Amino acid sequence: MNTILIIEDNTDIRESSAEILELSGYHVLQAENGKIGIQLAAQHHPDLILCDIMMPELDGYGVLYLLAKNKETAEIPFIFLTAKTDRSDFRKGMEMGADDYLTKPYDDMELLHAVEARINKYKRQHVHYESIFNGLEALGTVPLANELKELISDRKLRHFKKKQILYYEGDSPQGLYLIMEGSIKTIKIAPDGRQLITGLYKQNDYIGMDALIMDQPFNDTAEAVEHSSLYLLPKELVINLINKSHDVSRQFIRILCRNVHEKEEQLLELAYLSVRKRLAQVLVCLSSKAPVADQLNISREEVAELAGIAIESVRRTLTDFKAEGMIEKNGSMIQLVNVEKLSKIKN
């Protein structure tokens, strides 16, 4: 039986939520304030914590902060209960390591779905956590892998839903993101509202390195393309790691240079390549990063943003590619049938 801890100063909300969860087979602990909640979490190690943000004595942010400092409670899935909808509250919670939100008032099914989904996801991730952790060697040199293992050993894996924002353009970097699952895109938004995808990142990629090292605000916005899991490696620890190890700093420099090279190539494509050539190159590039070879699950809007062309042109050109036997389309799924032919399209 899974144990749920509810930390909520509103008696009616706390007790009604507890009743619903108990009727669904959960063992529920209740705390009327943050201090009691921390004590219960340390004592019982629940499978999930539901916590209000606005509470007297110790608010939800304080609860999450103190739980994260304790190794025995740092990995417990944590869902905020909040009546606030301002994006700054959501961003602050995610930066601190919250796993999800429930906005009050919520109904019974919303509560049960959020709890069940988060517990099941945590169990699945816990099973293969060691394989992900051991896979850090794929990130580069052995010194870098070993240093990163040590760096993330006490960090909590953070989860982002599809279309959820990691950071906005102009935000100050809190650290370096390392993608463990899923994919993230970075975008620039023009004054007229149009978007251009400046980067597409997958498992084992880093996000935000240039802003962190230059100690400047982000110059683009990062958004989850699909449900994704990331580590946020604190800024101070990353800088110390770079200063301490020449091997690590060299590896990071290589990654930065590669990112710059990719952006230069993107600018050249926007300036000189035809619509057909640009779209073909985007499809081939996405194919090389796709979890399933030659199979892309991406919207026409995202393809247009990545290629820097109008969505009407994307639809028309994809139809041409299909007629020429280079791709197949099924909803948002694009199957590359002839990658070699796509690669050799003339400008």
Backbone angles phi and psi of 175, in degrees to 5: 170, -165
Q: Give the domain CATH number at 245.
A: 2.60.120.10
Q: Does one domain contain both 11 and 116? A: yes
Q: Does one domain contain both 200 and 282? A: no
- What is the pLDDT, as a whole number, of residue 6? 96
Residue 279: partners with Cβ closer than 8 Å, 6 or more residues away:
303, 307, 309, 313, 314, 317, 318, 321
Q: Does one domain contain both 158 and 118? A: no
Q: What is the pLDDT along the chain (347 residues), one digit of tens a residue?
A: 899 999 999 999 999 999 999 999 999 999 999 999 999 999 999 999 999 988 888 999 999 989 988 878 888 889 988 876 655 666 676 667 788 888 888 899 999 999 998 888 777 665 544 544 444 444 444 455 566 666 666 566 788 888 888 999 999 998 888 888 888 888 887 777 677 778 888 877 888 888 888 889 998 999 988 888 888 888 888 888 778 777 767 777 777 777 776 776 666 665 566 888 888 888 887 787 776 777 888 888 888 877 777 888 888 899 989 898 998 888 778 889 888 888 888 76
In a domain, 63, yes or no: yes
In a domain, 263, yes or no: no
Q: Does one domain contain both 39 and 118? A: yes
Q: How far apart are CA 124 and CA 270, in angstroms?
A: 42
User: Of 159, 208, 150, nearest to 180 (Cα)?
Assistant: 159
In a domain, 267, yes or no: no
Q: Does one domain contain both 200 and 247? A: yes
In a domain, 324, yes or no: yes
Q: Does one domain contain both 20 and 98? A: yes
- Confidence (pTM): 0.53
In a domain, 268, yes or no: no
Q: Give the domain CATH number at 99.
A: 3.40.50.2300
- What is the pLDDT, as a whole number, of residue 127? 56
Q: How far apart are CA 51 and CA 74, in angstroms?
A: 15
In a domain, 260, yes or no: no
Q: Give the domain CATH number at 310.
A: 1.10.10.10
Residue 38: give the domain boundaries: 3-126
- Is the separation of the CB atoms in 102 and 111 below 8 Å? yes
- What is the pLDDT, as a whole number, of residue 217? 93
Q: Does one domain contain both 94 and 147? A: no
In a domain, 22, yes or no: yes
- What is the pLDDT, as a whole number, of residue 190? 72
- Is the separation of the CB atoms in 321 and 342 below 8 Å? yes
| Residue after which a domain boundary falls, among 84, 104, 126 | 126
Q: Does one domain contain both 154 and 222? A: yes
In a domain, 76, yes or no: yes
- What is the pLDDT, as a whole number, of residue 39? 94
- Is the separation of the CB atoms in 27 and 2 below 8 Å? yes
Q: Does one domain contain both 67 and 114? A: yes
Q: Does one domain contain both 285 and 308? A: yes
Provide the number of structural domains found in the chain.
3
Residue 56: partners with Cβ closer than 8 Å, 6 or more residues away:
9, 33
Residue 107: partners with Cβ closer than 8 Å, 6 or more residues away:
none
| Residue after which a domain boundary falls, among 126, 153, 175 | 126
| Residue after which a domain boundary falls, among 255, 282, 310 | 255
Q: Does one domain contain both 15 and 122? A: yes
Q: Does one domain contain both 278 and 338? A: yes
- What is the pLDDT, as a whole number, of residue 40? 95
